[in-house]
Amino acid sequence: MPDKIIPEKILYSVTGIFDHPDEIINAAEQAEKAGYKKYDINTSYPVHGMSTAMRIGPSKLSYIALVFGLSGTTLALLFMWYVSSWDYPMVIGGKPYFSLPAFIPITFEVTVLLASIMTVVAMLFIFFKLPNNSHPLHDTDYMKMVSSDRFGISIQASDPLFDEVKVKDFLQNLGAHHITPIYFDESEISVKNTVFEPKFIGFLLAVFFATAGFTYFSLNYILAWGPFNWMWNQHKLNPQKRSELFSDGFGMRMPVEGTVARGYMPYLYKGNQAAASKYMINPLLPTKEVLSMGQQKFVTFCSPCHGYLAKGDSRLRGQFPNPPSLHSEKVRNYQDGDIYHIITEGQNTMPSYAKQITREERWAIILYLRALQRSQNAKETDIK
Ligand code: HEC
């Protein structure tokens, strides 16, 4: 008893050879006319007009590019949304957390990256069925002829209209010679897709480790050798780094004393609280918007030390000297200019907040502080 059934020879296609490019164009047109769908033309060089004769539509590859391009867009946007507005929201340059214009370049890049890489991968592994490179036409006299100077047509047995005798007649009538049936090899029938073959996966892994290893080695070692490391030794100073050049050791420098930023008036009452108190007037009115801005800034910049109600109940738990209450006689009787001056220049241990808080915000904070003071020292007339 045979332990393995040896299959009969299975027909793949019937092929015919032509000598002239015009004949093969005609053959393609006739095959279309006869209604054959599964046939192919093999020529030794690109023959003009062939795709029209065979009525080949645009490649379906573009759909793959579209799908993966859109996935790239979605992935990139989702990722950036997750990172910058969900997981670690951070205000950068005053932009909203999800700042679409800033995300466009990355979105574009990822879209193009995914579309192009996946198009190539799909082309190789789905359309070309690599790494399976076996094909019934390989190693046939037909292939030898069409890859030197002949033109061939191969009508496949899987075509619904296929009938061996009819196809042979059809080719005969077109004037083909060397009309030959082509059969599958046994190996070609059993192995359809070799992507998942251990041999191929092993090959991919080998390529992966070789590339990764070489990249690691070159980036970490070769680039640190001899002439390759030019770019690492630059006469430059990175942010936050020490510098021996300056006596205070700071690499990042403060602007020179007296520097005036474009469009900004310097503070007129430097070191002169009495003058600030006398001449400065709050330009803002205590509207709802102003008070709410003042509240927000007070909570952010003042409340850590002065407490939410400005009673001096610091939340810094002894890391910084507790400030006095801002509900004292003294501060209640301060002019707005006094407080403005203290925010601008600081007072003793309290540092200046001129860099963090704009002028307008300072005035808004003062109005909010006035409201706080009134709330803690309400008079009977306030209730009426
Ligand atoms: C890092 C902690 C800290 C922060 C933040 C802070 N202050 Fe002060 N503040 C102090 C300390 C400490 C004093 C007392 C300084 C002294 O000894 O004269 C003080 C004093 C004051 C005084 C004078 C009080 C007095 O009785 O002389 C005012 C007014 C004041 N701060 C307002 C503010 C405002 C408004 C803000 C927010 C913009 C603010 N402070 C932010 C720590 C802070």
Tokens 């907040």: give the residue: 353
User: In this structure, how many other beta carbons lie within 10 angstroms of the beta carbon of residue 154?
Assistant: 22
In sequence order, what are the residues at sequence separation of 6 or more whose Cβ sits closer than 8 angstroms to the Cβ of residue 182?
Answer: 11, 12, 13, 14, 15, 136, 137, 140, 142, 154
Q: Whose CA is nearest to atom 40 of ligand 1?
A: 302
Q: How far apart are CA 93 and CA 101, in angstroms?
A: 13
In sequence order, what are the residues at sequence separation of 6 or more whose Cβ sits closer than 8 angstroms to the Cβ of residue 177?
Answer: 16, 17, 18
Q: Is the CB of 328 within 6 Å of ligand 1?
A: yes
Q: Is the CB of 366 within 6 Å of ligand 1?
A: no
Calculate how far, in angstroms, residue 329's C-alpha sits from the geometric centre of ligand 1.
Answer: 15
Calculate how far, in angstroms, residue 367's C-alpha sits from the geometric centre of ligand 1.
Answer: 16
- Residue pair 124/130 in contact (Cβ under 8 Å)? The answer is yes
- Low-confidence spans in the chain with pLDDT less than 70: 1-8, 187-194, 228, 230-231
pLDDT of residue 230: 66
> Which atom number of ligand 1 is nearest to the Cα of residue 303?
5
Rounded to a whole number of angstroms, the distance between the first and last alpha carbons of the chain is 113
- Residue pair 16/178 in contact (Cβ under 8 Å)? The answer is yes
Calculate how far, in angstroms, residue 278's C-alpha sits from the geometric centre of ligand 1.
Answer: 20
Q: Is the CB of 347 within 6 Å of ligand 1?
A: yes
pLDDT of residue 9: 81
Q: Report angle CA 37, 41, 43 to the nearest 5 degrees.
A: 170
Calculate how far, in angstroms, residue 360's C-alpha sits from the geometric centre of ligand 1.
Answer: 18
Q: Is the CB of 363 within 6 Å of ligand 1?
A: no
> Which pair of tokens denotes residue 348?
């003793």
- Whole-Å CA distances, 350 to 62, 75, 363: 65, 47, 18
> Which atom number of ligand 1 is nearest to the Cα of residue 325?
26
> Which pair of tokens denotes residue 84?
């910058």
Q: Is the CB of 346 within 6 Å of ligand 1?
A: no
Q: Is the CB of 330 within 6 Å of ligand 1?
A: yes
Q: Is the CB of 375 within 6 Å of ligand 1?
A: no
- Residue pair 20/151 in contact (Cβ under 8 Å)? The answer is yes
- Whole-Å CA distances, 383 to 65, 94, 374: 70, 40, 11
pLDDT of residue 1: 45
- Residue pair 286/277 in contact (Cβ under 8 Å)? The answer is no
pLDDT of residue 26: 94
Which long-range contacts (C-beta less than 8 Å, at least 24 apart) are formed by 140-143? 140/15, 140/180, 140/182, 141/178, 141/180, 142/15, 142/17, 142/42, 142/178, 142/180, 142/182, 143/42
Q: Whose CA is nearest to atom 16 of ligand 1?
A: 348
Q: Is the CB of 367 within 6 Å of ligand 1?
A: no
> Which pair of tokens denotes residue 326?
């801002």
Q: How far apart are CA 105 and CA 102, in angstroms?
A: 7
> Which pair of tokens denotes residue 310?
């400005």
Sign of CA dihedral 345, 349, 355, 356: negative
Q: How far apart are CA 252 and CA 18, in angstroms?
A: 79
